[in-house]
Amino acid sequence: MIDIRLHLKYSTFALDVNLQLPGRGVTALYGHSGSGKTTCLRCIAGLERAEDAFVQINDEVWQDSHKGLFVPAHKRALGYVFQEASLFPHLSVRANLAFGLKRIPRQQRRVDMAQATELLGIGHLLERNPQHLSGGERQRIGIARALLTSPRLLLMDEPLAALDSQRKSEILPYLERLHDELNIPVLYVSHAQDEVARLADHIVLLSEGKALASGPIGETLARLDLPLALGDDAGVVIAGQVIAYDAHYQLLTLQLPNCPLQIRVAHAPLAVGQPLRVKVQARDVSLSLQAEEHSSILNRLPVTVTQDIGADNSAHVLVRLDAGGTPLLARITRFSRDQLHLHPGQALWAQIKAVAVLA
């Protein structure tokens, strides 16, 4: 468990958060610029000293202002990845990585050079100098260097913000590997919802220095009381599991979490039992009182209406649905809502026009 309580005041900004976060997996700190994401990360790292704070990472306490405890940044077992990799230009990639490794006594090393280079796919780059690397390659070296400090916590401050879309798509699979293969909790700062949806297990929504919400990503993205649900890109993330593959039609069948319902998605074959994360946009969900058997829409699920609110324009509403325990959102017109006489507890059918595979 990660326990974070931070109170910090500047002349024009105040950070006031109280968070209990999972001690494993990826937690995203999400919000617009100026919401306090980076300040929060810097306080956790000890680079900023909040006057009233408690920071505990699993069984290690790094700050407790009530007891006068403050572990300086260089003594905290953390790795920090910034927007720019900031590699030493006069050193080779191998020497840059060795700089991170030599900070840790051999008996305390939890990640070695071979593991870090394999995880980040950088073995062929070890003898190059940083000026001969692409932006995505430099960032992968920076992440590997942070891992070689054998951190108890990995902090990532918008690590893809300086990269173009092609470089982002190259590096995201490596970040997924870190999530899947290393037992190191990650706090990941971003204002890009597509990154958060693809990588995070847990999300903290920050605004003006305060946490509006904190919880599992699937449930939190579906909350209608948060601004995430109101925009045109609103949707839910579903962590499904492959249970079948139709080779003739090239369709995967996914079991929804904790319920008997299934969805199908066009995709290359994957092994039965493999997890697969998908996103269903609210704008891609329509509602019907009856199951439409003769339709090109592949996925039709029985659902129950739980709530509806106005969207970001007066013509639309957002409807929250329960699909056997899995939340869904539908963005429909107010006219359609009234024609269907929607109300909480009503049973109907959700027709999912598109499912986006995130990984």
The pLDDT tens digits of the residues spanning 33-68 come to: 899 999 999 999 999 999 899 999 999 999 999 999
Q: Residue 150's pLDDT is what? A: 87
Is it the case that residue 222 has pLDDT exceeding 80? yes
Q: Return the percentage of the chain with pLDDT > 90, whole number.
A: 70
- What is the average pLDDT across 260-282? 94
The overall average pLDDT reported for the chain is 92
Tens digit of pLDDT for each residue in 277-321?
A: 999 999 999 999 998 777 889 999 999 999 999 988 899 999 999
Structure-token pair, residue 264: 């199908």
| Domain architecture of the chain: domains with CATH | 2-229 (3.40.50.300), 235-357 (2.40.50.100)
Full strand arrangement of the beta sheet holding 356-357: 262-266, 251-255, 235-246, 275-281, 356-357
Tens digit of pLDDT for each residue in 119-169?
A: 999 999 999 999 999 989 999 999 999 998 889 999 999 999 888 888 888
Q: Residue 229's pLDDT is what? A: 80
Q: Residue 81's pLDDT is what? A: 93
User: What type of residue sits at position 264?
Assistant: R
Q: Residue 243's pLDDT is what? A: 97
* Gap between the Cα atoms of 347 and 6, Å rounded: 44
Q: Residue 261's pLDDT is what? A: 94
Q: Residue 223's pLDDT is what? A: 92
Contacts of 177 (CB under 8 A, 6+ apart): 119
Tens digit of pLDDT for each residue in 84-111?
A: 888 988 999 999 998 878 777 777 778 8
Tens digit of pLDDT for each residue in 175-210?
A: 988 888 888 999 999 988 888 999 999 999 999 999
* Gap between the Cα atoms of 330 and 100, Å rounded: 47
* Gap between the Cα atoms of 214 and 202, Å rounded: 7
Tens digit of pLDDT for each residue in 315-348?
A: 999 999 999 999 999 999 999 999 999 999 999 9
Q: Residue 157's pLDDT is what? A: 94
The three-state DSSP-derived secondary structure of 263-313 is EEEECCCCCCCCEEEEEEEHHHEEEECCCCCCCCCCEEEEEEEEEEEECCC
Q: How confident is the model at residue 212 (pLDDT cuts 50, 70, 90)?
A: very high
Q: Residue 292's pLDDT is what? A: 79
Is it the case that residue 83 has pLDDT exceeding 90? no
Q: Residue 164's pLDDT is what? A: 86
Q: Residue 205's pLDDT is what? A: 95
